[in-house]
Structure 1
Amino acid sequence: MDTLDSVIVDINDGFWSYLLIPLVIGAGLYFTVRSRAVQVRMFPEMLRVLSDKAAPDAQGRKQVSSFGAFTISAAARVGTGNIAGVAAAITLGGPGAVFWMWVMATVGAASSFVESALAQLYKVRDYDGTFRGGPAYYMERGLGKRWLGVLFAVTITVTFGFVFNAVQANTIVAVAGNSLGGADSTWREPVVGAGLAVLLGLVVFGGVRRISSVTQVLVPVMAVLYLLLGTAVVLLNLNDVPRVLADIVGGAFGFREVAGGAFGTALQQGIRRGMFSNEAGLGSSPNAGAAAEVSHPVKQGLVQSLGVFFDTILICTMTAFIILTSNPELAGARQGADLTQNALTSSLGNWSGHVLTVVVFMLAFSSMIGNYYYGQSNIEFITGDDKRWVLPVYRVLVLAVVFLGAFGSVSIVWNLADISMGFMALVNLVAIVPLSGIAFRLMEDYREQRRMGIDPLFVRDRMPELPRVECWEK
């Protein structure tokens, strides 16, 4: 097992260092310049459109709102990456990794805008009146390359439906073990794994409307509860905040480390864990964004960009301060959520560790819901209308992976997630760079209507030269 883990680490380091990190940064900077920093310039507009209501469909059924789609994507974004992922980044890359997570979020929000606006433009209507879409759909309809869409669809289904869901189950078991005293138990893994599989099954067999209704409750509750815990820690350690900020900025450039590779390690871990956490440019959140009923594709692009800031600048920063105000000894520290849990209990007492167990469960469970939906949307892309037996089989396999993930090794699970996530981002970025011009034209159309004082409305006749756009009739 150690040999396998070592091989996976070597592959990851080469792939991320020499290919993916330059591509992610380059694409994010390109989108930022081309859009004139849409993620900063239109931030107030992001907050405004978040409250838009969704009109019912022709049968009077409630559609997924802009906020509903935001919570589906936030359910996948705001998961254990915000607790276990940040802990892993700090353990491996030092406090400086947090700085690069901030940079990744700021630059990556432009990538999130582009991919989510494109997903809205090229979405399709499902048999039950809901919408579905995502990178596979704009690869086929925008680029005319169905084979690339199928490759992406398979990759995201494996990455989110299986690998990332194993990560969530693995993290829940880790924090549950701490709450139960950290003692080994032969019953903990099977009981927790089986319980998660049963609860997830009750949701995923109910369709996208049930998924949206569950995440709209879970995501705000878990975020507020976690932020309250984090705020309490920061207030109790207020004198340490300047030191923590100095460690983050100094560590980002290797100023506070003796090892010559400190800068590279902080940069790599910050970008890896930042992408796992906020998913900007990864191609996952557009699958949720496409499900929304909005009047203009740009609205959902803005909402999904806001999700990047919500995830990293708010939630991940809180985790970093919880850990770093406890001034931990990072050498030899475990990489999972138990580092965050130990830091929390050292500041607030043992009760807070048990509360964090509940929070992690809510975070991870909502992530499983969002992860499952991403796979379902892409299986529907591959199979079309003939999915009567495929989706039930997929659901059963997802539940089996959740159960088995409870038994996995933390290191191997996270390293496999890095490989699958990286390949997925590579395929998505190859597609959205040439398609980004369409997203920027949509943005100008949106801004022109806003300058006229009207609520922007898009119909495909406004850009009649774009082929295979089907859900934007008059």
Structure 2
Amino acid sequence: MINEIVAFINNILWGNGQILIYMLLAAGIWFSVKLGFIQIRHFGHMFSVMKGSNKSDKAGISSFQALCTSLSARVGTGNLAGVAVAISLGGSGAIFWMWVIAILGMATGFAESVLGQLYKVKDANGEFRGGPAYYIQQGLNKRWLAIIFSLFLFLGYGFIFSAVQANTITDALNHAYAIPTLYSGLVIIILAGLIVIGGLRAIAKFAEWVVPFMAITYVLVTLAITVINIDLVPAMLWDILSSAFGLQEAGAGAIGAAFKHGVQRGLYSNEAGSGSVPHAAASASPNPDHPVSQGYVQMLGVFIDTMILCTCSAIVILLAGGASGEGMEGIRLTQNAMSTHLGAGGGDFVAAAISLFAFTSVVANYAYGESNLHMFKLDNKIGRTAYTAGYLLMILWGSMAALPEVWAAADMALGLMTVINITAIVWMTPTIVSISKDYFKKRESGEEITYKSGDCEIQGKSEKGIWD
């Protein structure tokens, strides 16, 4: 009965109903228009905000650490397997629509991250915490809705998603090297436990070192493959564009498949609108000291995840002729493509990449759940110990078992989280526009960009002492 209810809800959200696809698309267009296409007009400023991004204090992590923490969660199997699925089911044209949804998603990511930073609070340790539950409670005065969001977040990010990512790692290592899943699962638990026991700051420091390394390595390998196959690049680009608009002979029905799968995979990968990233944004001590600066930082995160890393996977697959690979989906298509370019070492590289990509997600997911302990007054030793124990046990369980029903429950949790978050941020559009205009005005006039309570009109109120 429970499985049937979960399947019914998922079919409405993700399946035939596709409510989430339309909601996320509409939100991207809405915030792009309301913010004057900020992702295009302020594209350069998005990078310049990162100049002073390594500054932190006792209350918050640095902006760069917040970016890397959010990328830890964003960059996962979707960047490798998800792109392959999009190409396999939607053809090369899916990549074009993945780019489009990333550009729109940048505006949504900006909006939710600004709110996360504006309505952040201090937990029992005097550290910044925040996220959709906090801006729903303080901005909209809907504690009941904030509690529901937090419960879905605990179910998804706190427990099940980490189990799914652990399963991906153990399965990849078992397939490539015949390592028993129990052994690799225990290693994951030990490594993750050593990191998360130090709390958000330890997770942020881990992300600060690992994420740039894995991203730069993946980009460099892709650049090398592109240079080696430079003569095929013009045809590849034309194939992406022509397939996206159905210009090829078989293209009449293909445009629909390209659009659907490109949009879906782009949305799944960059997480813009799901309500996960505001947790990382809220944890930062921003520089400039204004909530909008975190909007730019996390907008950059969407760009890096989809426009750079997902595109790298697409290039590797398409230059290997992957779009026409019959009967081959997901990670196998990526592994096959990489092996075509790098020989036997290609499979090893993908196995290493997916293990690292997935492990960073396992660690960052903990931080998102931990940020919501304060909502229930559980940000104490007992609450954190209980949460950490449950988190590690779920990783061990997920590393050894096939859990399709549990994964379906996680999809439902993510879907309902997204519905609540999109509804909330659209509801709070006046606040997002007001505080963004405050930042734009101060930047254009050359005055110091700082925010103090009362500088502009907002819905509800931020926590006393944060912006006073």
TM-score when normalising by structure 1: 0.90
1:24-39 to 2 correspondences below 5 Å? 24-39=24-39
Residue among 262, 273, 283 paired with 2:275? 283
Sequence identity, in percent?
39
> Residue 264 of structure 1: which of 239, 256, 263 is its match?
256
Q: Tell me which residue corresponds to 1:195.
A: 187
Superposed displacement of residue 238, structure 1: 1.8
2:83 is matched with 86
**Distance across 1 between alignment mates of 2:378 and 2:456:** 28
Other-structure match for 1:72: 69
Change (3 A) 1:158 1:7: closer
Partner of 2:201: 209
Post-superposition CA distance 1:162-194 (Å, at most 9, x none): 3322332232234324532xxxx4x52111112
Which residue in 2 is equivalent to 1:448?
441
Contact 2:155 2:410 in 1 (8 A): no
1:230 to 222, 235, 239: 222
1:461 to 445, 454, 462: 454
- CA shift digits 1:249-286 (9 cap, x unpaired): 23334454859754333333222221221111111111
SS in 2 for 1:64: coil
Alignment match of 1:345 (pick from 339, 347, 354): 339
**1:359 and 2:353 aligned:** yes
Between stretches 284-293 and 239-248, larger displacement belongs to 239-248
Aligned to 2:121: 124
- C-alpha distance in 2 between matches for 1:346 and 1:199: 33
**Contact preservation (8 Å) 1:319, 1:340:** yes
Q: Following the alignment from structure 1 to structure 2, what is the Cα–Cα distance between the partners of residues 411 and 244?
A: 36
1:353: Cα distance to partner?
2.5
| Partner in structure 2 of residue 157 of structure 1 | 154
**Amino acid across the alignment from 1:101:** M
Q: Secondary structure at the match of 1:50?
A: helix
Question: Given residue 327 of structure 1, which amino acid in structure 2 is its aligned partner?
Answer: G
- Match of 1:406, SS? helix
Would you say the 8 A contact 1:105–1:313 is kept in 2?
Answer: yes
Q: Quick check: 1:334 aligned with 2:326?
A: no
Equivalent position SS for 1:161: helix
> Is the alpha carbon distance of 1:13 and 1:121 closer, same or farther for their aligned partners in structure 2, counting shifts above 3 Å?
closer
Aligned match for 1:219, one of 211, 218, 222: 211
Q: Residue 107 of structure 1 aligns to which amino acid in structure 2? A: L
Question: Is 1:176 paired with 2:173?
Answer: yes
In the alignment, which residue of structure 2 is the partner of 1:49? 49
1 CA distance for matches of 2:160 and 2:360?
15
Deviation at 1:473, TM superposition (A): 3.4
Identify the residue that residue 292 of structure 1 maps to in structure 2. 284
Q: Which amino acid aligns with 2:29?
A: L
TM-score normalised by L of structure 2: 0.91
The change in CA–CA distance for 1:85 and 1:413 in structure 2 (over 3 A counts) is farther
- 2:245 is the alignment partner of 1:248: no
Shift of 1:399: 1.7
Which residue number corresponds to residue 437 of structure 1? 430
Report the Cα offset of residue 113 of structure 1: 0.6
Deviations 1:277-331 (A, max 9, x none): 1111111111100000010000000110011011100000000111111113433
Matched, 1:310 2:310: no
Deviations 1:9-68 (A, max 9, x none): 9826765644221211111111101110011111121111113256665xxx47401111
Query: Size of the alignment, in residue pairs?
Result: 461
Q: Structure 1's 322 and 410: CA in aligned 2 closer, same or farther, altered over 3 A?
A: farther
Q: Which amino acid aligns with 1:94?
A: G
| 8 Å contact from structure 2 (residues 127, 283) kept in 1 | yes
Rounded Cα–Cα distance in structure 1 between residues aligned with 2:415 and 2:242: 27
Shift of 1:156: 1.8
| SS of match in other structure, 2:428 | helix
Q: d(CA) in 1 for partners of 2:301 and 2:258?
A: 24
1:434 is displaced (CA, Å) by 1.2
Asked if the contact 1:175–1:341 (Cα under 8 Å) also holds between the matched residues in 2, the reply is no
Aligned counterpart, 1:323: 317
| One-letter amino acid of the counterpart of residue 279, structure 2 | N
The alpha-carbon deviation at position 132 of structure 1 amounts to 0.5
SS in 2 for 1:87: helix
Give the drift of 1:393.
2.2
Note closer, same or farther for the CA distance 1:13–1:41 as it changes in structure 2 (3 Å cut).
same
**8 Å CA contact 2:119, 2:134 repeated in 1:** yes
Q: Which ranges of structure 2 fall in alignment gaps of 5 or more residues?
A: none
Map of 2:369 onto structure 1? 375
Q: Identify if the C-alpha distance between structure 1 residues 178 and 465 changes in structure 2 by more than 3 Å, giving closer, same or farther.
A: closer
